[in-house]
Amino acid sequence: MDGSKAFLVEDESEALFRSIRAELLDEYRQDHVWPWIIGYSGGKDSTLVAHLAFEMLLSLPPSQRKRPVHIVANDTLVESPLVVQHIIDSVEEIGNAANAFGLPIITKITRPAPEQSFWVNLIGRGYPSPNRSFRWCTDRMKILPTSRYIKSQVDAAGQAVLLLGVRRSESSTRAASVNRYDNGERLNKHNDLVGCMVFRPIVDLDTDDVWEFLALNEPPWGGSHLKLIGLYRNASGGECPVVTSKEDAPSCGTTSSRFGCWTCTVVEKDRSLEGFVEAGYAEFTPLLDFRDWLASIRNQKERRQARRRDGRITITDGGTFIPGPFTLQTRSEIFERLRDLEKVTSQSLISDEEVDLIHQLWSEEIAGHGKVKTMSVREIIKEK
């Protein structure tokens, strides 16, 4: 590429970012006071949106910083350890800097209710490991916690604007989704959340535009984007996106290499976690092995009950029998292996509250089968 073409590309990129900054500023200065909510996954696209919004607030005099900006991340409680630590650290950095600068930024990390966590559903209720046809985890662990927070802001203000780092160039599926709900205006109604308007400020950027900006510009809250760049390099992939509707659910757990839940069995292979291991994080190998084992036992008939939790036996119109939840013996084995995994990795992978809920669910299930309540869960499982 000759020099004139290089300058032309640079000018086009700069013009695009000038347009995005102007649009952010114009929307923030609108007469209404609807709060902004930035869906923050800790990945490159949501980081860019947070960067530009923070930068925009810094450019305004304090008297014009009237609209609160919520930066909301989600922790499913089974996130890849490196990723969740990055999310926690970066959210803390943003919050501390916002307080120091007197910016109206509120940071929040949403988490699933304990009774809807991955382990309580898998081990406690016996839900089979998630796959593409039964992706029970996305709704409970990602959509509901974040949607609940958004709804609380809508209830308080009457309306809210959700800023998403969605780009058409991510994939043909993403482009089709953006176009389907694009009304030609800056703000589009959310598919599921009443009173929530969606703003996609970086929708027309290419991946190279995003990386170039993050590499050349330090975050306005301090530090650098080098840790984020390193995560992508080591994982050989990208982040699981912010998911606030069932329309977005197919993006969670795809065949592409994304960092997200280390327990994700929707993908055939967790190439992201494999990438971390290959990059030198050998301590994650036991997590990878455990995840692969979970995926392998899903369809083993002897590990599944004949009836669903409501007592029904399910047979499709084509005559295919659909087994029910994991047996208590299998759930007990998963639980014991998970506890052993905690010892091997020196990590806390399940909370005491989750353990109590699991034992409660087991006891209720056993009692419902006519067993004596005074027997221990372990004794009853062995008896079965």
Instruction: List every span in the chain annotated with CATH 3.40.50.620.
Output: 3-258
- Segment 270-293 shows an average pLDDT of 90
Of 19-23, 37-41, 369-373, give the lowest mean pLDDT range.
369-373
pLDDT at 376 over 80: no
What is the pLDDT confidence band of residue 377, given thresholds at 50, 70 and 90? very low
> CA-CA distance, 18 to 25, in Å (whole number)?
11
Supply the pLDDT for residue 184: 73
pLDDT at 179 over 70: no
- Segment 340-362 shows an average pLDDT of 97
Q: How many residues does the chain have?
A: 384
**Main-chain dihedrals φ then ψ at residue 118, nearest 5 degrees:** -60, -50
Using DSSP, state whether 188 is helix, strand or coil: strand
Question: Which candidate, 30, 8, 22, places its Cα nearest to that of 52?
Answer: 22
Of 4-8, 18-22, 296-300, 353-357, give the lowest mean pLDDT range.
4-8
pLDDT at 358 over 50: yes
> CA-CA distance, 220 to 352, in Å (whole number)?
38
Give the tokens for residue 88.
């926690």
> CA-CA distance, 123 to 362, in Å (whole number)?
9
What is the pLDDT confidence band of residue 88, given thresholds at 50, 70 and 90? very high
Of 263-277, 289-303, 339-353, give the lowest mean pLDDT range.
263-277
Tell me how crowded residue 375 is: count the other CB atoms within 10 A of its CB: 14
What is the pLDDT confidence band of residue 379, given thresholds at 50, 70 and 90? very low
pLDDT at 73 over 60: yes
- Segment 285-313 shows an average pLDDT of 87
- Segment 122-127 shows an average pLDDT of 97
pLDDT at 125 over 50: yes
Cα-only R_g, the chain: 23
Of 10-14, 254-258, 374-378, give the lowest mean pLDDT range.
374-378
- Segment 117-127 shows an average pLDDT of 97
Determine whether domain 3-258 maps to CATH 3.40.30.10. no
> CA-CA distance, 231 to 211, in Å (whole number)?
13
Supply the pLDDT for residue 35: 98
Supply the pLDDT for residue 382: 47
Q: What is the mean pLDDT of the chain?
A: 86
